[in-house]
Chain A
Amino acid sequence: MTLTELCRSVVQWLGVPAEYRDAATLILLALVDAFILFNFVMLSVLVLIYVFRKLIGFIQARLGPRYTGPRGILQTVADALKLLTKEDIIPLAADKVTFNLAPLIVFLPALLVYVVIPFGDPKSGLQVRDLNIGILYIAAITSVTVIGIVTAGWASGNKWAVLGAMRSGAQLLSYEVPMTLAFLVPVLLAGSLRLSDIVNAQGEWFWQWNAFRLDYLGLTFVAFIVYFICALAETNQTPFDLPEAESELVAGYHVEYSGMKFAIFFLAEFGNTVAISAIATHLFLGGWKAPAPFLPDTGWWSLFWFFVKVSTLVFLIIWIRGTYPRVRIDQVMELGWKFLLPVGLLCVTGVGLIVAIRP
């Protein structure tokens, strides 16, 4: 039984009059979807932070969390509870309304982006909405984050926060451009903005996926790399974590935040890490498809393959985070405008030309 049918029967059982039944079903379904997505983000962040600390510990030749629960598995839960019970401090120089609003503006896009991301084959109902503007929706919604970060920096009334917010604004807006160009390559190949169409346009063998296919002179792989670098910059991951550079800006835009509001910023950042891995999976790595046609990839198997790919990318991001030093702000800008932008343009033009020429 699908979720829609379940909601319909609940509405029927509640005795809603027949003329309002469809509307009530839609609203109930939306609420249930929101509940599931919210919990997915929370749970994945909970797991991710534990894995992140263990892996970073391994990379830096230490042990990571050990004492709370078996192998320190409950450390994140304990940290979350600690943050929840902390005093909510609002600095005197802060602008109260916007100070409280900023974490929400940052968190909402991190949650909303999951609306169009399929967690498996959409035919098995593993996607909330298959919008026809899927990829454009992702580009639009994820970019809203920068407003929250700039607001947080301004509202804190602190010069480090302002500097962090400025860096973040410059960085996020700059990398938006090559990222959108990288988005265009799978869109050109699929002829659709819809995520399920983009996945279905990729072949069944792993060398037919957008990242690995060679029939476009490897330009699709270049686009994948461009997207991945931009995604790291967009989510303030190392080596592009300048907006919150601990050693120079204390913590950047969220330096004045404590307790739950700080946790929300953190939550959004880790939620975005999973989201960009999921987007990269769908655009370039064949989405929910198995690497070979003889392997099962229908129903729940599609969920499995999706999570295998997403986890691999998340692992890669943590690996990069543990390995590379932070770059300077002028290097960030130079990489974005002088390298990624021309390379992205080359990819779009090249793939577009081949698509146009090929019968």
Chain B
Amino acid sequence: MGEAIAFWILAVLIVAAALGVVTLRNLFHCALCLGLVLFGVAGIFVLNGAEFLAGVQVLIYVVATLVIILFAVMLSENITGERIRVVSYNRPLGLLAALGFLGVMLFLAFSQASFPAHTSSIKDPSLQVLTDVPNNIAAFGTLLLTKFIVPFEFASVFLLVAMIGAIIVARMAE
């Protein structure tokens, strides 16, 4: 029961904050709402027994990504002295994209697992170790460095390339 209460609190929080992200007029407020959404998602991870993901979610999304966004807003508004205009010209298109994304996610969720969801409904046998509570961090790490080593390494190389690219683009002006 406690889990259900926590879920509903988090769900309402996430949806309300997400609405704030897309409707608020002040870009800085939008960014802070985004932080709240991401924090709520971390809470959902905890409820599902994925503490490691929750920690990483806070560390990377809530802090690192959000601070970059806040920096961008702060630098453009407080240095140029000009307010950023928040307008949305393409609402119908955006709605379409959002609904399409929701459809894809729901389709994937229903085709991969049976509902009501339970750990035994994970079909891939190699992922069964993750349901081995209470400590799934070791299993997570092992999977990351064995079965998923290629996507893991690809992601790190990809990020490195993006970082070097960003430095080169920034240096080009000099």
Instruction: State the A residues within 8 Å of B (CB).
Output: 23, 26, 95, 97-98, 101, 131-133, 136-137, 139-141, 143-144, 146-147, 150-151, 153-155, 159, 162, 165-166, 169, 173, 176, 193
**Are A132 and B58 interface neighbours, CB within 8 A?**
no
Partner of B55, one of A95, A137, A151, A166: A137
Contacts of A162 in B (CB 8 A): 74, 78-79
Partner of B51, one of A95, A133, A150: A133
Output the least CB separation between B83 and chain A (Å).
Answer: 11
Contacts of B79 in A (CB 8 A): 162
**Are B67 and A97 interface neighbours, CB within 8 A?**
no
Closest to A156 in B: B78
**Are A150 and B74 interface neighbours, CB within 8 A?**
yes
Asked if B64 is an interface residue, CB under 8 A from chain A, the answer is yes
Contacts of B51 in A (CB 8 A): 131-133
Most chain A beta carbons < 10 A, residue from B56, B64, B70? B70
Contacts of A166 in B (CB 8 A): 71, 74-75
Asked if B62 is an interface residue, CB under 8 A from chain A, the answer is yes
SS class, residues of chain B in contact with chain A:
helix
Instruction: State the B residues within 8 Å of A (CB).
Output: 1-2, 26, 28-29, 32, 35, 51-52, 54-56, 58-59, 62-64, 66-67, 70-71, 73-75, 77-79, 134-135, 137
Partner of A140, one of B2, B63, B137: B63
A155 to B1, CA, bound (A): 40
* 10 nearest A-B residue pairs (beta carbon): A136-B55, A140-B58, A143-B63, A140-B59, A133-B51, A140-B55, A162-B78, A150-B70, A154-B74, A133-B55
Output the least CB separation between B66 and chain A (Å).
Answer: 6
Output the least CB separation between A159 and chain B (Å).
Answer: 7
A346 to B137, CA, bound (A): 25
A159 to B62, CA, bound (A): 25
A140 to B78, CA, bound (A): 28
**Are A169 and B134 interface neighbours, CB within 8 A?**
no
Partner of B63, one of A95, A144, A153, A193: A144
Output the least CB separation between A145 and chain B (Å).
Answer: 9
Contacts of A140 in B (CB 8 A): 55-56, 58-59, 62-63
**Are B67 and A147 interface neighbours, CB within 8 A?**
yes
Q: Given A137-B55, A146-B63, A23–B1 Cβ distance below 8 Å?
A: yes
Contacts of B71 in A (CB 8 A): 150, 166, 169
A173 to B78, CA, bound (A): 21
Closest to A19 in B: B1
Contacts of A137 in B (CB 8 A): 55
A98 to B35, CA, bound (A): 13
A5 to B79, CA, bound (A): 57
Contacts of A101 in B (CB 8 A): 32
Most chain A beta carbons < 10 A, residue from B35, B51, B55, B135? B55
Output the least CB separation between B155 and chain A (Å).
Answer: 17
Partner of A133, one of B52, B62, B67: B52
Q: Given A131-B51, A169-B67, A154–B26 Cβ distance below 8 Å?
A: no
Contacts of A136 in B (CB 8 A): 52, 55-56, 59
